[in-house]
Amino acid sequence: MELLAVGLNHHTAPLALRERLAFPPEVLLPCLRELSARMASGSAARQAPVEAAILSTCNRTELYCVGEQAQVLAQPIIDWLAHSRQVSPDQLQSHLYVLPQQEGVRHAFRVASGLDSMVLGEAQILGQMKQAARTAAQAGTLGHMLHQLFQRTFSVAKEVRSHTEIGMHSVSMASAGVKLAQRIFGDLSTRKVLFIGAGDMIELCVTHFAAQNPAHMAIANRNPARAQGLANRHRAQVLGLSEIPALLHQFDIVVSCTASALPILGLGAVMQACKARKHQPMFMLDLAVPRDIEHQVSQLDDVFFVHH
């Protein structure tokens, strides 16, 4: 049995394509089962990958598969990925990397260790890889070989952080966001911050911004109850998504990261907020894939808009 890793990331593909290739959490289980079943049928039956895992984050979509012949697996996997995400295979080819055997193992080690991240050494990717393994196990597509790969990958990442200085000098997207906000506003103690979402990335961002003692923080989420625990820990206000348009002008900094398939904030809402703020600057950081904030917002003179 052989390993094959197929994927694209922030090094190889533009954001617009990465958005289209992202797998929302709620579709991962059926997609993993579909991938495994598709590879186990038809002309590729004898080379079927009996194991599959999908790593889908803001910056990358990667499929880790196991089958009898890695070279034979590549095209069926690419075809399935294109069909699943409704993208033509030709559009994908120039952006994908296809890594068999040891190349795939080495890549997994680099990803888990933060060496392949947009922000070198960031630690969140390790947790995302662990979640990918758990999801594959739940879907029934994590066999012996992928289990061994992930366990060894996690050990290597731990060793890298324990025996090198990468962990000491790593800067997460959350802390990078704080530094950008400080470049714009200086001291953040008089600033109000709105967080949209309540997942792991937002929790990380709330923690980093809270350390700067902003004047006020609010967390808006589709399910306010989910945000309540995070808000309680940091003395933040909880909002529903429907409240954002009316209150957006009150916030100097907006950080968004949800799993929404559609934008949370449109150009019109941000324009109205800028007008109500009498054109005082806003900093908007969109960490979601697909984007939570319409990209046209970047055209506004009063908004410092950053996405990745």
Write the CB contacts of 171 (distance below 8 Å, at least 6 apart in sequence).
Answer: 119, 120, 121, 122, 179
The per-residue pLDDT for 131 is 95
Each of the 308 residues of the chain gets a pLDDT tens digit; together they read 889 999 999 989 988 899 999 999 999 999 999 998 887 764 444 544 579 999 999 889 999 999 877 777 888 899 999 999 999 988 898 999 999 999 999 999 999 998 888 777 777 889 999 999 999 999 999 999 999 999 999 999 988 888 776 665 555 778 888 999 999 999 999 999 999 999 888 988 998 999 899 999 999 998 888 889 889 888 899 999 999 999 999 999 999 999 888 899 999 999 999 999 998 999 999 998 889 999 999 999 999 999 86
Q: 195-233: buried (b, 16+ CB within 10 Å) or exposed (e) per residue?
A: bbbbbebbbbbbebbbeeebeebbbbbbebeebeebbee
The pTM of the full predicted model, rounded to 2 decimals, is 0.71
Bridge partner residues of 67 (DSSP): 2
The per-residue pLDDT for 165 is 67
The per-residue pLDDT for 161 is 80
Q: Which two structure tokens, joined as six digits, stand for 144? A: 């012996």
Bridge partner residues of 61 (DSSP): 8, 56
> What is the helix (H) or strand (E) element at residue 162, kind and residue range?
helix 144-163
State the Cα torsion 104-105-108-113 to the nearest 10°. Answer: -140
Residues identified as active-site: 58
Transcribe 32-52 into DSSP letters: HHHHHHHHTSGGGGGG--SEE
> What is the helix (H) or strand (E) element at residue 7, kind and residue range?
strand 2-9
The per-residue pLDDT for 196 is 96
User: What domains can be seen in the chain, in order of their start residue?
Assistant: 2-169 (3.30.460.30), 173-307 (3.40.50.720)
